[in-house]
């Protein structure tokens, strides 16, 4: 797929969400993303997938290309070739070229910035969301989502995953009212990847978004370990110091 064609396909991009919406009424529960923020290879792959499928619509304006290069141990040239498709410079914030008026005309709303989506929604939500699109001919893009009902974005990863159909069931509320709900999703058109390989792609994207949401987390955790070790050693010193001090007083 050429870059220009891919750019058009991904205009919906990742997670076109509306504030205040909850999970769609269904029996589906959030799956565990099981990401590894220390896995640099996963983060690099996630950055590449994000650039190819999400970045044409969704900015991560609190992040800079140069920060990604430093944290993911990439050269600035590698980040430029992998993620910069406009005239942006390596030191610039990661904004998109999509105009708000065009976004509203195509999608009915402006795609949100995803800088902190991993913190506002949670990694399990994103992971489940990207695996829960299903065919719905009543929607403008022909798809809906079991986690986010009537979502405005297309399924930008459909070529990788394939197409799913919803399996419906029903639940009865305590007041005796029966509701139709989504009980599961069945793959009806195969994609380029097997299910486990597609899940791995989504996991890499989620891992990258988790890193973007808190890029200092790994450093903080590493420093925290040494701080705890220092405090433990300092506590031992204080115990012996206390004993030595009170020995003379007694």
State which CATH number among 3.40.50.1100, 3.40.50.2000, 1.10.760.10, 3.40.630.10 fits the domain covering 3-215: 1.10.760.10
The reported pLDDT for the residue numbered 23 is 46
Please give the Cα distance from 33 to 147 (Å, whole number).
15
> Virtual CA dihedral for 111, 73, 118, 168, nearest 10 degrees?
80
Q: Residues 19-44: what's their mean pLDDT?
A: 75
The reported pLDDT for the residue numbered 56 is 86
Q: Which strand (E) or helix (H) includes residue 140?
A: none
Rounded to two decimals, what is the model's pTM?
A: 0.78
117-172 tens-digit pLDDT: 999 999 999 999 999 999 999 999 999 999 999 999 999 999 999 999 999 988 88
- Environment class of 6 (CB within 10 Å of its CB; exposed 0-12, middle 13-18, buried 19+): middle
69-116 tens-digit pLDDT: 999 999 999 999 999 988 899 999 999 888 888 888 888 888 999 999
Q: Which residue has the higher pLDDT, 225 or 64?
A: 64
Please give the Cα distance from 209 to 218 (Å, whole number).
14
Q: Which of 92, 72, 24 is nearest to 207 (CA)?
A: 72
Q: Which of 117, 100, 164, 103 is nearest to 15 (CA)?
A: 117
**Tokens 């996963």, located at residue:** 42
Please give the Cα distance from 64 to 50 (Å, whole number).
14
- pLDDT over 60 at 195, yes or no: yes
Domain extents in the chain: 3-215, 217-250
The reported pLDDT for the residue numbered 95 is 92
């Amino acid at each position: 797929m050429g870059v220009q064609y891919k750019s058009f396909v991904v205009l919906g991009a990742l997670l076109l969400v509306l504030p205040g919406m909850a999970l769609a009424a269904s029996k589906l529960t959030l799956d565990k993303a099981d990401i590894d923020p220390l896995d640099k290879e996963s983060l690099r792959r996630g950055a590449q997938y994000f650039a190819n499928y999400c970045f044409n619509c969704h900015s991560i304006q609190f992040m800079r290309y140069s920060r990604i290069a430093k944290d993911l141990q990439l050269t600035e040239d590698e980040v430029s070739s992998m993620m910069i498709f406009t005239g942006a410079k390596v030191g610039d914030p990661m904004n998109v070229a999509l105009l708000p008026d065009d976004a509203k005309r195509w999608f009915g709303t402006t795609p949100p910035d995803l800088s902190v989506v991993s913190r506002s929604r949670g990694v399990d939500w994103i992971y489940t969301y990207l695996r829960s699109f299903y065919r719905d001919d009543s929607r403008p893009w022909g798809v809906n989502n079991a986690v986010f009902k009537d979502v405005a974005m297309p399924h930008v990863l459909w070529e990788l995953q394939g197409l799913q159909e919803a399996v419906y069931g029903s639940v009865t509320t305590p007041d005796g009212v029966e509701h139709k709900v989504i009980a599961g999703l069945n793959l009806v058109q195969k994609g380029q990847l097997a299910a486990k390989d597609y899940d791995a792609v989504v996991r890499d994207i989620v891992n990258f978004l988790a890193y973007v949401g808190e890029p200092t987390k790994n450093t903080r955790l590493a420093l925290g370990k040494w701080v705890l070790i220092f405090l433990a050693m300092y506590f031992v010193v204080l115990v012996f110091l206390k004993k030595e001090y009170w020995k003379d007083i007694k």
